[in-house]
Structure 1
Amino acid sequence: MAVDIATDSGNHDFPVVQVGGFPTASVSRRKLAQCMVRDCMAAREDRENWIPKAVFSSNGQGIALAGQDPAFADAMAAADIIHADGMPVVFASRRTAHPLPERICTTDFFHDAAQAASEHKLRFFILGAKEEQNRAVVEAIRKLYPDVEIVGRHHGYFPPEDDKRVCDLVRASGADVLWVALGKPRQEFWSIRNRENLKGVGWIKTCGGLYSFLTGDAPRAPGWMQALGLEWLHRVALDPKRLGWRYLTTNPYAFYRLVRYTR
């Protein structure tokens, strides 16, 4: 995928629509990768002053959580870009003036981002998960994308008092994109809380369970289930004890908020 950053100059020029209460980017995966490249190049020009763009995703879990936790709603409101990680968000957007062109699942978008990083020599820092999985996902990325420079990594099991130390590691690495897999909502809270400590990084991209998919620990749902917005059901079938109650309680409330807070 060739990324022509000249086609996306100036401020982000895609429409933003309210879906489930979140200002959601009506943008394609390809164009989002172009935005990443452009922002990272701009950050390199002003390392001492550039505040990273916080790029979050919207799905049923997050939409429900925002209705229950004002602090999480505030964290999402502070994001620079929110993209649709769930098909129900895409379906609901059809009621808006600018329906979303496609679902941008972070697990899929990573490959667009890695390809763009390969072409434009962007550097990644991998943050989150347990030490063993963190090490494994770096190895997996290097096999998939040998031209992507991974300049650092750190597991996600550290206390808040270590935030500054971790951020110093990221900045010293010269990373352009920081991938943050700390689980929702911790990853969103952490990203907003530490933006000032990460000056010069182009993007902070939250990525939830991405590492499990890249290492093969968690299989993706069949394509037809993804297209119908049923990937959550596939995940429940694989891990009913952990996910069954979560989806049973969040899905109805998320559906309500998608209907009530989409304009």
Structure 2
Amino acid sequence: MKQAVYVSKKFLLKSKHLRMICTPNPEMIINASQDPNLLSILNSADMVIPDGIGLVIASKILYGYNLSRVTGYDLIQNIMKHGSYKFYFLGSQIGVAKEAAKQMQLKYPNITVAGYHHGFFQESDIKSIIKDINNSEANVLIVGLGSPKQEFFISKYRKEFSHVKLAIGAGGSLDVMANKVKRAPKCFRRFGLEWFYRLITDPSRAKRMLNLPLFLLKTFYVKISNLT
């Protein structure tokens, strides 16, 4: 976490253009393996952090790396805690980004809420949204549109932002910030079982959760293939 925060702050202090942070989990990696455009975005991102425990396990199995899981939510919280930056909140349902901005301003009075906009916009709205972000002079853009929409959005429009130095694909983080979705208890997060908590509290996610064992099976397959 410390290294991710350090690099993020370095981007904000020294970068002359927008830097993109991706926060993949096993589901995103599986999708990227089937979508060359998404894979290209992940490979060209300025920083990629292992949001999912499956990536931590896979990196250990395949390469012997001892990575620490860094969620997009936790990274954003730490950036807010240790700096006085201007944040723009983009994504989720109508009213959620506004509430997330309100809650984060209360929690971190050192930050500035530059603006917010919901994620239910049309292609024809994007020009005005970018204009609003630029007029706000935000230097951190939190994009919670879900994957791969948020990655495509940042990648496609990154050169059109005049003040943003850091754009983070945040997934469902805005819902947590706005207290619309309860985060998993620490005991689940400590052992990388946030996915299991979401499964038992929201069984409708069961199909998506199958991506984790599928990802691990593919990881073992690659490992075995490399040994033969």
TM-score by length of 1: 0.78
Which residues in structure 2 correspond to 1:66-85 (within 5 Å)?
66-85=32-51
SS for the counterpart of 1:179 is strand
2:85 aligns with: 122
> Hey, which bits of structure 1, 4+ residues long, moved more than 3 A?
256-263
1:35 paired residue number: 7
Give identity over the alignment, percent. 25
- Which structure 2 residue ranges, 5 or more long, are not aligned? none
Change (3 A) 1:260 1:58: farther
Determine the C-alpha separation between the residues in 2 that align with 1:186 and 1:153.
18
Pair 1:151–1:228, CA change in 2 (3 A): same
Aligned residues between the structures: 223
**In structure 1, which of residues 50, 54, 71 is the aligned counterpart of residue 20 of structure 2?**
54
Separation in 1 of the partners of 2:191 and 2:3? Answer: 23
Note if contact 2:115-2:133 (Cα within 8 Å) is conserved in structure 1: yes
Aligned to 1:256: 217
Retained in 2: the 8 A contact 1:125–1:150? yes
What amino acid does structure 2 have at the position aligned with 1:131?
I
Which sections of structure 1, spanning at least 5 residues, go unmatched?
Answer: 1-28, 44-49
TM-score (normalised: structure 2)? 0.89
Supply the AA of the counterpart residue of 2:158.
R
Aligned to 1:144: 107
Q: 1: distance between equivalents of 2:135 and 2:220?
A: 45
Mapped to 1, the partners of 2:152 and 2:55 lie a distance apart of: 22
One-letter amino acid of the counterpart of residue 81, structure 1: M
Shift of 1:97: 5.3
- What do you get for the CA RMSD once the two structures are aligned? 1.9
CA distance in 2, matches of 1:122, 1:107: 16
CA–CA separation in structure 2 for the residues paired with 1:192 and 1:199: 15
Equivalent residue for 1:178? 141
Question: CA deviation digits over 1:234-262, x for unaligned, max 9?
Answer: 11111112x111112x2233213434568
Give secondary structure in 1 for the equivalent of 2:21.
strand
AA partner of residue 124 (structure 1):
F
2:215 & 2:87 partners in 1: Cα distance?
Answer: 33
CA distance 1:66–1:256, change in 2 (3 Å):
farther
Q: Distance in 2 between matches of 1:194 and 1:174?
A: 16
Q: Alpha-carbon deviation of 1:194?
A: 0.6
Is this contact kept in 2: 1:183–1:208, CA < 8 A? yes
- Would you say 1:105 and 2:71 are equivalent positions? yes
Question: Which deviates more from structure 2 when the two are superposed, residues 84-93 or residues 205-214?
Answer: 84-93
